[in-house]
Amino acid sequence: MMKWEENVRKVVPYVAGEQPNRPNMIKLNTNECPYPPAPGVRKAAENMESAALRLYPDSNAQPLVDALAAYYDVKPEQVFVGVGSDDVLSMAFMTFFNSGKPILFPDVTYSFYDVWADLYRIPYRTCALDENWHIHPEDYKQPNGGVIFPNPNAPTGVEESLETVEEILQANPDVVVIVDEAYVDFGGKSALPLLKKYENLLVVQTFSKSRAMAGMRIGFCIGNEKLIHYLNDVKFSFNSYTMNLPSQVMGVEAVKDDTYFKATTAKIIATRERVKKELTSLGFTFPDSKANFIFASHKEVPAEELFRALREADIYVRHWNKPRISNSLRISVGTDEEMDRLIAFLKEYLEKRV
Ligand code: PMP
């Protein structure tokens, strides 16, 4: 190693799901929405004047902040938006997990958390989920520098009750507790009502899944005004103009169309529940998912084999070679037609194989 390399900030980056794009392929590997964004988003895209791109965007993304504040019935000062919830989470790690004490998160969870912790030199300790993939609230009653967990969890889809979330909040008044609600719109219960009781709670959500806008990169969080103020101080010390103008304009349109939002999420939930039954009849088991994906393993056929066979058939799902989860596939919920093709393929494959 050269001398200069010794002082490089070395990190092992997060590995995102692949983004292949071929006609007729079925992409169920990154939990995107299989339906288009709200019609107003399309209209806004069509009406965008390229001349408007000459100017810097609003550095606060104020129209989007205001729309979200109105929708969730909070003050604009309680809302922070970022370039996807990854950006929001990354800023939150940098802002709030600064004590030098280990932060806590589940052993099986979103695999970006340990990457940010390493990037920002934040010590961390993972707490093992129980055999049903649930959090043990007791684990979060040890001294720590902050807590983060997704609810519903990824990649399991398992939801914790608001009682569990509150038990963790009650045990941790001296640190910031972040609840990552990337998947909450598919039937989960949001922790937002707890904001009135806990000024150290930060709830993070995204437009990437339930609002069908992964390509626009819009995420946000809601919390106490003081938390949001500190978050903005760090954001403005890092990069002021993070969210581009089209994302701001189209994000507002997505928030405006609640009817479309509710109809789309209801459709995905209905498909998910049907697919659960079909997977069960094919010999799969899975924890009950409240997200837009199902974390399934087969009783007899290894996940890695199924992953490869599906891929050969141009059906992409996600598989990790990691402790505890290497025999499961995370299957995003697509359209009914896509899921029918998935089920038909699995049925035929398993009939031949088992
Ligand atoms: N949190 C969780 C739990 C996720 O699974 C994801 C998606 N990879 C994100 C946050 C980030 O999503 P985005 O940056 O697209 O908002």
Does the beta carbon of 32 lie inside 6 Å of ligand 1? no
Q: Enumerate the CATH 3.40.640.10 domain ranges in the chain, comma separated.
A: 39-257
Give distance in angstroms: CA of 207 to centre of ligand 1: 9
The structure's pTM equals 0.98
Span(s) in the chain for CATH 3.90.1150.10? 3-36+259-353
The confidence score (pLDDT) of residue 354 equals 67
CA of residue 62 to ligand 1 center, whole Å? 23
Q: Is the CB of 287 under 6 A from ligand 1?
A: no
- The Å distance, Cα 258 to ligand 1 centre, comes to 22
With a 6 Å cutoff on the Cβ, whether 182 touches ligand 1 is yes
Digit-coded pLDDT (tens) for 251-275 = 999 999 999 999 999 999 999 999 9
User: What's the pLDDT at 17?
Assistant: 87
The per-residue pLDDT for range 60-114, each reduced to its tens digit, is 999 999 999 999 999 999 999 999 999 999 999 999 999 999 999 999 999 999 9
- 208 C-alpha to center of ligand 1: Å? 8
Three state DSSP letters for the chain: CCHHHHHCCCCCCCCCCCCCCCCCCEECCCCCCCCCCCHHHHHHHHHCCHHHHHCCCCCCCHHHHHHHHHHHCCCHHHEEEECHHHHHHHHHHHHHCCCCCCEEEECCCCCCHHHHHHHCCCCEEEECCCCCCCCCHHHHHCCCCCEEEECCCCCCCCCCCHHHHHHHHHHCCCCCEEEECCCHHHCCCCCHHHHHCCCCEEEEEECCCCCCCHHHCCEEEEECHHHHHHHHHHHCCCCCCCCCHHHHHHHHHHHHCHHHHHHHHHHHHHHHHHHHHHHHHCCEECCCCCCCEEEEEECCCCHHHHHHHHHHCCEECECCCCCCCCCCEEEECCCHHHHHHHHHHHHHHHHHHC
Q: Determine the CATH number of domain 39-257.
A: 3.40.640.10
- Atom 6 (ligand 1) nearest CA: 182
Report whether CATH 3.90.1150.10 matches the domain 3-36+259-353.
Answer: yes
